[in-house]
Amino acid sequence: MELIYTNKIVKGKKLDFSIADVNEVYEGSVGVLWEILMGEQIHVGADVQTDIMAQKAGVNKNTSVLDVCSALGGPARHLARKYGCKVTGLDATMKMVDEAVKRTEKEGLMHLVTNKLGNALDMPFKAAAFDIVWGQDAWCYVTDKERLIKEACRVLKTGGIIAFTDWVQSGNMADKEWEDLNCFMAFPYMETFAGYEQLLKQAGFVIIEKEDRSPDFAKYCHIYQDKLRNELKSAIISQYGAQMWKAADNGLALWVKAADEGKVGWGRMIGRKV
């Protein structure tokens, strides 16, 4: 399956992935596979984690939320439905935005949710437009995290909240392992918790919370592997072929091992723009 990458050029401490690669992944069957594995909220912990972060970020009916890398818009609709807030979803993949629009219309949430095509590195919004900038398990795809955080700061009102979860590098690893893990996901690189903390402070945020939930991440990696190997195996093979299933299984096995060894993890950061 060509859209599961096996090698990419390493440039400095980054793999040479671009927005075009991300588009290929999420326009194709791999994007669909993620929804099958994780649900329409394509992140660890689904709506449970969305609610935890909503409470911590202070989402309510008076807040405007920008979900950066919103994919199918699952979290955006959940927030609008449950908290009555206005949500703008921003995503760079046309297929994801089209699908998010369709699902928003189907649920009759157009008065609260807007889905927009655009790049997180050049957000198509005016300064100080939002109360909350939100992200779940997606900023690992972004090629320049420093610029992403600066953009988030620009579009936030003073006193506004940045709240996100992400997949991070949490331990040392050999170059080959680092390349294989990132290549499988089409990540240019993963930040570390300390790296995110520094980027947030540099951009003008005070850190409200930094929560390392890596043990949960390892548990979820096992859950996804188990689903892939058991309940979803025959459906995926009949729909996408044995080669795709095998490539997915090989890649996921690398992630399960790295998560068990504490080399990759996941967690939440919350900051306030001062």
Where along the sequence are the contacts to ligand SAM (CB under 6 A)?
A: 19, 22, 26, 41-43, 69-71, 74-75, 90-93, 96, 119-121, 136-138, 141-142
Q: Which is nearer to ligand SAM, 138 or 218 (CB)?
A: 138
Q: Apex CA 59: angle with CA 31 and CA 216, to 5°?
A: 50
Q: Which is nearer to ligand SAM, 10 or 121 (CB)?
A: 121
What is the distance between the alpha carbons of residues 52 and 152, in angstroms, rounded to a whole number?
21
Smallest distance from ligand SAM to CB 40, Å:
7
Smallest distance from ligand SAM to CB 174, Å:
26
Which pair of tokens denotes residue 148? 């992403």
Q: How many CB atoms lie within 10 A of CB 101?
A: 18
Smallest distance from ligand SAM to CB 14, Å:
14
What is the distance between the alpha carbons of residues 164 and 196, in angstroms, rounded to a whole number?
11
Q: Which is nearer to ligand SAM, 142 or 256 (CB)?
A: 142
Smallest distance from ligand SAM to CB 108, Å:
20
Smallest distance from ligand SAM to CB 121, Å:
6
- CA distances to 43, 137, 150, 155, 230 from 126, rounded to whole Å, are 28, 25, 13, 6, 47
Q: Check if the beta carbon of residue 148 is closer than 8 Å to that of residue 78.
A: no
Q: Which is nearer to ligand SAM, 91 or 191 (CB)?
A: 91
Q: Check if the beta carbon of residue 150 is closer than 8 Å to that of residue 132.
A: no
Smallest distance from ligand SAM to CB 35, Å:
9
Q: Which is nearer to ligand SAM, 33 or 256 (CB)?
A: 33
H or E element, residue 268? strand 264-273
Which pair of tokens denotes residue 179? 């390349």
Q: Which is nearer to ligand SAM, 15 or 90 (CB)?
A: 90
